[in-house]
Amino acid sequence: MKVCIYGAGAIGGWIGVHLAQKGHDVCVVARGASLRAIQKNGLQCLQAQPTEMRHVVQVKASDNPADLGPQDWVIVAVKAPAMLDVAKGIAPLLAPHTVVMTAMNGVPWWFFQGFGGNLDGTTLGTIDHHGRIAQAIPAHHVVGCVVHASCSLDAPGVVRHHFGQGLILGEPAKQLSEPSARVQNLVAQLVTAGFNASASAQIQKDVWYKLWGNMTVNPISAFTGATTDLILKDDLVKDFVSQIMLEAKEIGEKIGIPIAQTPADRHAVTMKLGAFKTSMLQDVEAGKPVELDALVSVVRELGQLTKVNTPYTDALLGLSRLHASVHGLYPAQ
């Protein structure tokens, strides 16, 4: 398949290297230092387990999607603040059959496309204020992907994979009796490439479940500098996290995505992962914009849409965006 990785960061680079190793025709849209590094040294991935290995693949890379042409599969693996720029540039990569798979954190712009119920087709202003992303990437192209893995960048174009191989794919449409043919095909390609890939009957459930865990520890780590274990070892902070999760859980029930777990259940899962830096803390340390809107602002917006009060979420958002704004990583209010 012709595969384009749009955003050669940690997750995009990790996926791209393994697909290229299995013979797919992989290209990359990148900019600046990342583009120069990939053009000179190839796209690289350091695999930590069971023993450290360096995988290097040579791929075509450009900052102009028109240089790469129409693709079979575009994997968008950027942080949410960059998504509008992707929308502006993605057109040359799209043919009628092209699948655009979003491997991103947080609630995506397509969350309510084909969702069903009262919110079907709702545009989330905190994610896609004027509907520009949805206009640039029509719904029929989209397949959602939820990533359960930890990767970071050692240097431009050099990814370090820490743990996890999970990729969950699904159509952003009403719950299906079985995965679509194109989702099954993509899952098969990913499994062959070494990922623990699976298909979901309703990908929004998987998006919401992941968000339920990282909408709290990500921003708290960003403004405290703490790893996840330290956040949950502090009883006062852990209680604050739990209250936010209960608000999000109520919202999920209102929109038809209930979560059976309690906050304590999820804390136990997070603690098993040990001490690690969240992606948002990595962004702060690198001086990159933080994706607060896709993780926190959108939950506040959903609370307003569903008439659920969110005082703890509001407090988290206020603190997080103030910290990020002061450091030039989020637009000033």
Residues 273-291 have pLDDT tens digits of 888 889 899 999 999 999 9
* Closest alpha carbon to 159 in 5, 4, 328: 5
Q: Which two tokens stand for residue 112?
A: 């309510």
Asked if 210 is an active-site residue, the reply is yes
pLDDT beyond 70 at 292: yes
pLDDT of residue 70: 98
d(CA 13, CA 5): 8
Chain-centre distance for alpha carbon 106: 6
CATH number of 206-325: 1.10.1040.10
pLDDT beyond 80 at 119: yes
pLDDT of residue 274: 86
* Closest alpha carbon to 208 in 319, 304, 298, 81: 298
CATH number of 2-201: 3.40.50.720
Over residues 81-117, the pLDDT tens digits come to 999 999 999 999 999 999 999 999 999 999 998 888 8
d(CA 163, CA 166): 10
pLDDT of residue 332: 67
pLDDT of residue 115: 86
pLDDT of residue 176: 65
Chain-centre distance for alpha carbon 220: 18
Among 2, 22, 79, 210, which one carries the catalytic annotation?
210
The amino acid at 24: H
Q: Do domains 2-201 and 206-325 have the same CATH topology?
A: no
| 3-class secondary structure, 266 | helix
Q: What is the DSSP letter of 177?
A: S
Over residues 208-243, the pLDDT tens digits come to 999 999 999 999 999 999 999 999 999 999 999 999
Contact 243, 220 (CB under 8 A): no
Kindly give, in sequence order, each residue whose CB lies less than 8 Å from that of residue 122, ignoring residues fewer than 6 positions away: 112, 115, 305
d(CA 251, CA 146): 20
User: What residue segments make up the domains of the chain, in order of their start?
Assistant: 2-201, 206-325
Furthest C-alpha separation in the chain: 53
**Across 308-333, average pLDDT:** 94
* Closest alpha carbon to 53 in 197, 166, 155, 159: 159
Q: Which two tokens stand for residue 3?
A: 């595969």
> Half-sphere exposure of residue 4, counting CA atoms within 13 Å on the CB side?
28
pLDDT beyond 90 at 173: no
pLDDT of residue 315: 98
Length of the chain: 333
